[in-house]
Structure 1
Amino acid sequence: MADTPHSAPVSFSEFDAVSTAAWQERIKRDLKGADPAALEWATAEGLNVQPFYHQEALHGLPTQALTTSTAWLNIPTYAVGAADKGHTAIARAADALERGADGIYFELTDAASFDISYLHERLPLSTSYIGYSVRIGAASFVERLLATGTPTLRGFLRFDPVTDHAPDLPHQLAELRTVLTLTRHMAEFRALTLNGAFFANRGGTVIQQVGFALAAAAVYLEQLPTDDIPLAEVAAAFQIQVGLNPNYFFEIAKLRALRRLWATLLHAFGLPADAAQALRIFAVTSTWSQTTLDPHTNLLRATTATMAAVLGGANAVGVAPFDSLYQSPNEFSGRLARNLPVILREEAGLNRVADPAAGSYYLETITDQMAREAWAVFQRVDAAGGLSVAIGMVLQELHAVAQMQFQRIASGEQVIIGTNRFQNPHEQFDYNPKKLLRSKEFDSTRAAYPSEVLRLATVLHFQRREKKHRRAAVVLLGAHTNQLIMESFLRLLPVQERLALKASHPAGTLSVLFSTPEAATLMYATPDQFGHFARVVCRVAINEPDFVPPTLLTADLATMQEAVSLFGFREFTVEGYSTDDVLARLQGR
């Protein structure tokens, strides 16, 4: 067009080219004789990051061009509980599609109760992009979708019995084969979505997340194909749902490494390289990094994570509401979550450039390192019999990594804004701490949980002390929490005082907070001691097999004092400081 401006080539000819050697010499000079290697830092994932990257770093690295479309989808999630027909969630989803969402994802606790007729009435299945997650009955669920008369579906199904370690895997695989057969002609429906977010939501490193997701995929590639369902058809049906955390550059590299290794995995199964281009990635914000303390910071974490997903090549993104840990679905937080990707697309323009991370010396290098390490994780799981056999080993490794993160959070080495640094001591909660601690839905598999449960428990204590009620409470803080409390407390003391202080509590015990109107006392007990104690306080028979002790137990003061003494709870001590002193300092009082 005559009126279209022509862009001039970018040129910096007025500047002399600077070689890598010259940059390195300048760094040495600026360091005044210090060794540049001292600036390297080791990440929690085990990768070494250099302080300076240069063009030569790309020599020998495999080239990678992401071929995904820039038209990524904004897909909010709606949870539908047990025995719920889903009418409320469907109505909210229909509204979301008119206000910036491109598709909808329903997480179904009870797929059999979900009202598909009402869904089809509000959201026509042939034109609406809809994803579903089910844990059982996948084949019958898809049959019900097709029974609406819809000739073809758009969206995906997440039914991953391997990752979710469902019982009777042969039967579940047969269900998946039926689903693949029913949807084989539907180009816009992915029938085999993996729950890769499972590993992110339990604190797995980015390397573990990629390696374990590949191990799950390998089980399906090995066991699903039959004479009627060829291997290529199974591979083409894949989508991987991944969880996103705020580590911006590493999350970008994670998605890029996943795409690279997907091609490697398919090549190992004898499939052509172009088959890997069909992989779709659905990136959702992880529960692992969400907090209930200063919860508006979750919006900032979600923004960082979603940007990383888009720049890393995700085909679709899903942002959880910032208050989803403690509030029922509501219009305010749902609208913010839905609009976050819209802003990144419409105002930030992140849908206008394909693979903007390509060629970055730093990102290309850590992508390569991450891919190599993740492939080694995959090979180790595969050598142990595959994910379906080695799931116990995988869960143990995830637990070990989570415990390491808890330790780093307690020591301040790993920062959670608003939780272990820059806390708001005067925060007013939008929820009832007592009700939240008693709730079975309160997610305890998160990085911030040990800090949160201590904070919420001590808030209850200070409230109880002010009201002077003659009742007491015991709050279960969890395993190893006394050690985390000790490390957090020491971090607040002058250096000269730290070495002289010691904590006394045996390993393998549970940490509890015993709160009376007069004082709060940190204690520890064995799991058996706490279990017997909880049964007495809750008046549950000793032979009741399904009893799960609640996090928060309350009773009159005399009963609680007698039970704590009877079942042998022991006080956690810090030399020179009372429990009240420790808690008050941790609370910023």
Structure 2
Amino acid sequence: MNSAAPSDLPYLDAFPAPSHDAWRAAVDKVLKGADFEKRLVGRSADGIRIEPLYPAASPAARALRAEAERWHVAARLDHPGPKEAQALALADLEGGADTLTISSAGAQAARGYGLVADDVSALDTALDGVMLDLIRLRLDPAPQGRINALLLAALIEKRGHAPAELSVEFGLDPIGVFAGLGSLAVSWPEVGRRLAETIRAIKDRGFSGPFITVDSRPYHEAGASEAQELGAALATAVAYLRALEAQGLTLAEARDTLAFTLVADTDEFLTVAKFRAARLLWNRIQQACGLAPKPARIHAETAWRSLTRRDPHVNLLRGTVAAFSAGVGGADSLTVQPFTAALGLPDAFARRVARNTQLILLEESNLWRVADPAAGAGGFEALTQALCEQGWLAFQEIERQSEGDLRGIVAGLANGSVQKTLAGQRAARMKVVATRREPITGTSEFPHIREDAVAVLKVAPVARGERRPPGSLAERNQGEIIRSFVGGAGRADAQIAPGAALRADTLPSLRLAEPFEALRDKADALPQRPVVFLATLGSIADFTARAGFARNLFEAGGLAAPSGDGFATDGATDLDALVGAFRDSDAKLACLCGSDIAYAEEGAAAAEALAAAGATVWLAGRPAESEALNKAGISSFIFMGCDVVETLERAQAIASA
């Protein structure tokens, strides 16, 4: 009698079990001698090997969310005007959001806008009609984060809410602000003292926190890889643990003040693995501190650096992939960047689409109903483990940094080592973008040079005011400041003395599409759009592939590159017709497009004829070995893997001269 347990899928017993060796043999047959490693094995920015196939795997450890329920849908309160911000916030909440993130003016996440609320009255106006006991509130990290937190605490006190019944994340993050602005007004020990004092004052009023946000967005926007982002987040969290412990908090109390904000990017597999790895790594930190691990509270935001100004509707797809990945990876709450965010302050429509992206994933796809959907999938488990290892190494590298009395992430920012590491990674990533090995749909690939404009709110960016002298409340304890805010005092009354006790080079906030967007902007600003003449050789079947490649490449830089049915007559190219069409086009740059056979038979003659007509002649294809083509006047080649940004800069200079 067979003692084996019956199969859950007995019909599969009728088929032989597939093996990895059989799969590999089938793949090698299809590859026909091509290199398996080059064709099918990828590498992440951290050098992590990405296989085409993984066996099933059991997770060594699982770090789950504290709450096995829907993630929270967050919308940003970032309109400068309190009344206008209130109208947008109510629409977000009525439309399905259950979390508001207040981005004050000056916050990096506000992108030059942000709520201007200098007293409780203005903040009250922005949140008028919002039932604070029914939603979650978050503050985005920003300069003067202490004042923002105290103003919010004062508003809640003025409204008479019981703080213990509210969910408020106060968003204090002096390290993140230091990374983004490059200075701290006081020394790091003094920052720690003020941070602890602020937390105690708010906590004494009944708030449970979290009070500090460990924000990885500044590092991601400066070009960080997944492991580098994890390493920076861990190092920041440990720096806060040390600072608060030095001010008398226990490690458990310090740990409970922290929440995390991580970036969800457009690489689904790496994003899911990054969020899972973040929980596991934070558990390891807690264990190293002698604490029983508690689940990290993680807010996710879709990536700023992946957004584009050109063909912005593609951002809808980017946001969907990133939101899906954050949900599967186990985010507790999520902000989806509106698809027009890179163009200005998003309007109600763009905000609604951003909300609905999440609501569809929650209510129609039901992603939240599985605690850890990626568990057991070999690819996700392997990537999670690899990111744990690489993220820990990045964390250790930051922890080794020292600068005077500073250590860890603060020292790494002060001595420039963090900036140097990210600069190297950023340069490598931008090279991949420039060569289109990492294509940007709608920008570097498949551009639409006659796209219609999209709507954004007509709001001027908020000008940062000059640093004012310290206010009358600057040196008061935080509890007194809260009471003064309730009584009508404002931001200026609580500002500390201006200064820069600690300096660092600022981390840039960049989007990957910017080099191509700059080329498009330059072309659009010309009185007439520059044109490249596609000099097609042979029949349509002969030149279509390379003509399409050339048009796609040139239009990525804003140059028009029209092509027609060609100039073939009786199986050969009519060079007189070709040259005549070039003269009629008013173009200065001509690009030969055809098959290898056409290049060999007609390329040299065509190049000579075009050059004689005044054209600068390029060729679509790799630099030819034919000496005749080189001698015929072809001055440059465009091909897969060339530096498209540099190529387009030269093309613009020729076409618009």
Scaled by the length of structure 2, what TM-score is found? 0.66
Question: What is aligned with 1:402?
Answer: 426
Question: What is aligned with 2:194?
Answer: 175
Q: Could you list the per-position Cα deviations for residues 54-90 of structure 1 after superposition, in whole angstroms to 9, with x for gaps in the alignment?
A: 14xx47x633252442310000112144xx5x22212
Question: What is aligned with 2:118?
Answer: 112
2:91 maps to a residue whose letter is D
2:307 match: secondary structure? coil
Question: What is aligned with 1:125?
Answer: 132
Q: Could you list the per-position Cα deviations for residues 380-430 of structure 1 after superposition, in whole angstroms to 9, with x for gaps in the alignment?
A: 000012111111221222222222222222211110001101111222334
Indicate conservation of the 8 Å contact 1:201/1:243, yes or no. Answer: no
Distance in 2 (alpha carbons) for counterparts of 1:502 and 1:164:
46
1:37 positional shift: 4.1
1:64 maps to a residue whose letter is R
Distance in 2 (alpha carbons) for counterparts of 1:307 and 1:287:
16
1:172 maps to a residue whose letter is V
1:147 match: secondary structure? helix
Indicate conservation of the 8 Å contact 1:116/1:144, yes or no. Answer: no
Larger Rg: 1 or 2?
A: 2
Alignment equivalent of 2:356, drawn from 339, 349, 366:
339
1:135 positional shift: 2.1
1:283 match: secondary structure? strand
Indicate conservation of the 8 Å contact 1:135/1:159, yes or no. Answer: no
Q: 1:67 to 1:281 in 2, by over 3 A?
A: closer
1:141 matched to 2:151? The reply is yes
1:323 matched to 2:340? The reply is yes
Alignment equivalent of 1:457, drawn from 522, 534, 537:
522
1:108 positional shift: 0.6
1:389 matched to 2:411? The reply is yes
Q: Which runs of 5+ in 1 are unaligned?
A: 1-7, 467-483, 504-510, 513-521, 523-571, 585-589
1:237 positional shift: 2.2
1:97 matched to 2:224? The reply is no
1:294 positional shift: 0.3
Matches within 5 A, 1:65-104: 65-68=63-66, 69-81=68-80, 84=81, 86-104=82-100
Q: 1:422 to 1:185 in 2, by over 3 A?
A: same
Distance in 1 (alpha carbons) for counterparts of 2:249 and 2:152:
18
1:150 matched to 2:146? The reply is no
Q: 1:401 to 1:439 in 2, by over 3 A?
A: farther
Indicate conservation of the 8 Å contact 2:269/2:325, yes or no. Answer: yes
Indicate conservation of the 8 Å contact 1:77/1:107, yes or no. Answer: yes
Q: 1:377 to 1:146 in 2, by over 3 A?
A: same
Question: What is aligned with 1:219?
Answer: 239
Question: What is aligned with 1:535?
Answer: none
Question: What is aligned with 1:206?
Answer: 226
Matches within 5 A, 1:394-433: 394-430=418-454
1:159 matched to 2:158? The reply is no
1:382 maps to a residue whose letter is E
Q: 1:501 to 1:91 in 2, by over 3 A?
A: same
Q: Could you list the per-position Cα deviations for residues 270-329 of structure 1 after superposition, in whole angstroms to 9, with x for gaps in the alignment?
A: 212x32x2x111001121000000000001000000000000000001011111222333
Indicate conservation of the 8 Å contact 2:297/2:332, yes or no. Answer: yes
Higher relative contact order (CA 8 A, sep 6+): 2
1:452 positional shift: 0.2
Question: What is aligned with 1:494?
Answer: 621
Q: Could you list the per-position Cα deviations for residues 121-166 of structure 1 after superposition, in whole angstroms to 9, with x for gaps in the alignment?
A: 4223333311112421515335423432322131312121112215
Indicate conservation of the 8 Å contact 2:230/2:278, yes or no. Answer: yes
Indicate conservation of the 8 Å contact 1:90/1:119, yes or no. Answer: yes
Indicate conservation of the 8 Å contact 2:70/2:368, yes or no. Answer: yes
Aligned-residue sequence identity (percent) comes to 28
User: What is the count of residue pairs matched by the alignment?
Assistant: 476
Q: Which runs of 5+ in 2 are unaligned?
A: 1-6, 106-115, 402-406, 465-507, 532-555, 558-588, 592-617, 638-644
1:357 maps to a residue whose letter is A
1:215 maps to a residue whose letter is A
Question: What is aligned with 1:313?
Answer: 330
Distance in 2 (alpha carbons) for counterparts of 1:88 and 1:235:
37
Question: What is aligned with 1:289?
Answer: 306
Indicate conservation of the 8 Å contact 2:72/2:332, yes or no. Answer: yes
2:245 match: secondary structure? coil
Segment drifting more, 212-221 vs 159-168: 159-168
1:9 positional shift: 5.0
Question: What is aligned with 1:52?
Answer: 53
Segment drifting more, 258-267 vs 196-205: 196-205
1:164 match: secondary structure? helix
1:227 positional shift: 6.7
Distance in 2 (alpha carbons) for counterparts of 1:396 and 1:502:
34
Matches within 5 A, 1:551-570: none
Distance in 2 (alpha carbons) for counterparts of 1:267 and 1:501:
63
Q: 1:189 to 1:127 in 2, by over 3 A?
A: farther
Distance in 2 (alpha carbons) for counterparts of 1:459 and 1:337:
29
Indicate conservation of the 8 Å contact 2:263/2:300, yes or no. Answer: yes
Indicate conservation of the 8 Å contact 2:189/2:243, yes or no. Answer: no
Distance in 2 (alpha carbons) for counterparts of 1:307 and 1:120:
30
Indicate conservation of the 8 Å contact 1:80/1:106, yes or no. Answer: no
Distance in 2 (alpha carbons) for counterparts of 1:309 and 1:361:
19
Matches within 5 A, 1:393-542: 393-430=417-454, 445-463=510-528, 493-496=620-623
Q: 1:380 to 1:336 in 2, by over 3 A?
A: same
Q: 1:156 to 1:10 in 2, by over 3 A?
A: farther
Segment drifting more, 116-125 vs 365-374: 116-125
Q: 1:51 to 1:265 in 2, by over 3 A?
A: same
Distance in 1 (alpha carbons) for counterparts of 2:101 and 2:212:
15
1:135 maps to a residue whose letter is P
Please give the root-mean-square deviation of Cα atoms over the aligned residues, in Å. Answer: 3.6
1:224 match: secondary structure? helix
Q: 1:578 to 1:136 in 2, by over 3 A?
A: closer
Question: What is aligned with 2:253?
Answer: 233
Question: What is aligned with 1:569?
Answer: none
Distance in 2 (alpha carbons) for counterparts of 1:440 and 1:417:
33
2:43 maps to a residue whose letter is A
Indicate conservation of the 8 Å contact 1:240/1:280, yes or no. Answer: yes
1:150 maps to a residue whose letter is H
Q: 1:72 to 1:502 in 2, by over 3 A?
A: same
Segment drifting more, 196-205 vs 178-187: 178-187
Distance in 2 (alpha carbons) for counterparts of 1:374 and 1:497:
44
Indicate conservation of the 8 Å contact 1:142/1:179, yes or no. Answer: no
Question: What is aligned with 2:62?
Answer: 64
Indicate conservation of the 8 Å contact 2:210/2:258, yes or no. Answer: yes
Indicate conservation of the 8 Å contact 1:77/1:320, yes or no. Answer: no
Q: Could you list the per-position Cα deviations for residues 25-65 of structure 1 after superposition, in whole angstroms to 9, with x for gaps in the alignment?
A: 5545555566644532223331111222114xx47x63325
